[in-house]
């Protein structure tokens, strides 16, 4: 149990924003650079195209998303208390990407930090941000999921290069006295067992950058796709069913499953285990691929702005990623 409903205030999402770069790489592009084809990519992953940031870094994706949020909610950046940036592709090891984003938008009264939980990064960030709101100490908390995956993708490796894209998306968390809305529960997990299956080995304290680490190609994503797939299907489905049972939710009580967008087959398996109809699942993997920490908030923004996610909708967010990290969050949407 990581959340108790006896808190006097709930944290709820009161604003959203997103940023995707303009440049599109479709499956046909990959046919020219590696031994692959559109049919294989669509059938095995569900991805048609992804966006790539040509100039700039993760802070630019995060800043774009936050500016969109600030404009659409008419929020004064000076009122932001805390900025959490979930990412595995920070601009630099230090300073944090959150520091750069804060100064880019003029959040002069905020503090903040980066959070590393790979594809579960947004869920970990959302629970962290919600706890700061529930504590009563902070009023406006920003949680951003942003990754420039193209900066660590090996575009000669057909196993991984077709999977990833770049994007950023942000939410604003505030308190509410309305017990019917907001973030109601979370089940989150971490286990280093995943380190051999999905990692970037070079550049950290284990393998500091040298000519040798570059020659050995250690500064790119390594993934044992088959092994990760097996863990992901089980991990995401189990935790999604667990959060439903814990909150007495039947499949008809769930308005939307908002899953991490890594592979359409993992998403389908999770929905099936939950007894959820495909029409209740948010999908944009076809347009953006796997944008790591950005996938879930990107889905929230698009489905909300399209009028599909509505006030009162019960939503389950679910993710699985490197670490391994995985989990689910149950919330009831509070925005009109």
The gap from C-alpha 99 to its chain's centroid, in whole angstroms, comes to: 20
The C-alpha angle 69, 74, 76, rounded to 5 degrees, equals 95
Beta strands in the chain (DSSP E): 10-19, 23-26, 49-52, 82-86, 111-115, 141-148, 166-176, 182-190, 198-199, 222-223, 256-259, 314-321, 325-332
Q: Which residues bind ligand COA (CB under 6 A)?
A: 36, 40-41, 44-45, 119, 158-159, 162, 225-226, 228-229, 232, 262-263, 266, 290, 320-321
161 is known as an active-site residue: no
Which is closer to ligand COA, CB of 30 or CB of 304? 30
The question of whether 189 is a catalytic residue gets the answer no
Closest CB 260 distance from ligand COA, rounded Å: 7
Q: 12 — phi, psi (to 5°)?
A: -140, 150
Decide whether 229 or 288 has the Cβ nearer to ligand COA: 229
HSE-up (13 A, CA, CB side) for residue 51:
22
Is 211 tagged catalytic? no
Between 85 and 262, whose beta carbon lies closer to ligand COA? 262
Closest CB to ligand COA: residue number: 225
Least Å distance between CB 285 and ligand COA? Answer: 10
Q: Provide, rounded to whole angstroms, the least separation between the CB of residue 6 and ligand COA.
A: 34
Closer CB to ligand COA, residue 102 or residue 153? 153
Asked if the peptide bond before residue 324 counts as cis, ω within 30 degrees of 0, the response is yes
Strand 198-199 vs strand 222-223: parallel, antiparallel, or unpaired? antiparallel
Smallest distance, ligand COA to C-beta of residue 322, A? 6
Pairwise CA distance, residues 42 & 28, whole Å: 11
In whole angstroms, the minimum distance from the beta carbon of 40 to ligand COA comes to 4
Task: Name the active-site residue from 10, 161, 199, 260.
Answer: 260
Beta strands at 141-148 and 166-176: parallel, antiparallel or unpaired: antiparallel
Q: Report the nearest approach of ligand COA to the CB of residue 165 (Å).
A: 12
Cβ distance to ligand COA smaller for residue 83 or 236: 236
Q: Which is nearer to ligand COA, 139 or 265 (CB)?
A: 265
Taken in order 323, 328, 329, 333, the sign of the CA dihedral is positive
Beta bridge partners of 111: 82
Rounded-to-integer distance, Cα 256 and Cα 310, Å: 10
Q: Select which of 119, 161, 199, 263 is catalytic.
A: 119
Residues acting as catalytic residues: 119, 260, 290
């Amino acid at each position: 149990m990581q959340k108790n409903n006896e808190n006097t205030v709930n944290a709820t999402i009161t604003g959203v924003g997103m940023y995707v770069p303009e440049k599109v790489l479709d499956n046909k592009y990959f046919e020219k650079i590696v031994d692959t084809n559109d049919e294989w990519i669509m059938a095995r992953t569900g991805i048609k195209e992804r966006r790539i940031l040509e100039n700039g870094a993760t802070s630019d994706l995060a800043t774009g998303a936050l500016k969109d949020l600030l404009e659409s909610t008419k929020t004064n950046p000076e009122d932001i208390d805390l900025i959490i940036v979930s990412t595995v592709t920070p601009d630099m090891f230090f300073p944090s990407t959150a520091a750069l984003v804060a100064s880019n938008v003029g959040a002069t009264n905020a503090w903040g930090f980066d959070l590393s939980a790979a594809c579960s990064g947004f869920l970990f960030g959302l629970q962290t941000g919600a706890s700061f709101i529930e504590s009563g100490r902070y009023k406006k908390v920003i949680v951003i999921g942003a990754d420039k995956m193209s900066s660590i993708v090996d575009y000669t490796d057909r196993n991984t290069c077709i999977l990833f894209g770049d994007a950023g998306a942000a939410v604003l968390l505030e308190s509410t006295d309305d017990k019917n809305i907001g973030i109601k529960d979370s089940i989150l997990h971490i286990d280093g067992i995943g380190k051999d299956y999905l990692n970037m080995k070079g550049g950290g304290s284990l393998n500091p950058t040298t000519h040798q680490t570059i020659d050995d190609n250690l500064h790119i994503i390594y993934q044992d796709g088959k092994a990760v797939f097996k863990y992901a299907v089980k991990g995401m489905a189990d935790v999604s069913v667990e959060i439903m049972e814990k909150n007495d939710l039947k499949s008809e009580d769930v308005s939307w499953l908002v899953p991490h967008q890594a592979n359409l087959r993992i998403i389908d398996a999770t929905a099936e285990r939950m007894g959820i109809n495909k029409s209740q699942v948010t999908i944009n993997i076809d347009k953006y691929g796997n944008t790591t920490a950005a996938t879930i908030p990107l889905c929230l923004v698009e489905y909300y702005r399209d009028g599909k996610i509505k006030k009162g909708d019960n939503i389950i967010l679910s993710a699985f990623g490197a670490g391994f990290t995985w989990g689910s969050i149950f919330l009831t949407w509070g925005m009109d």
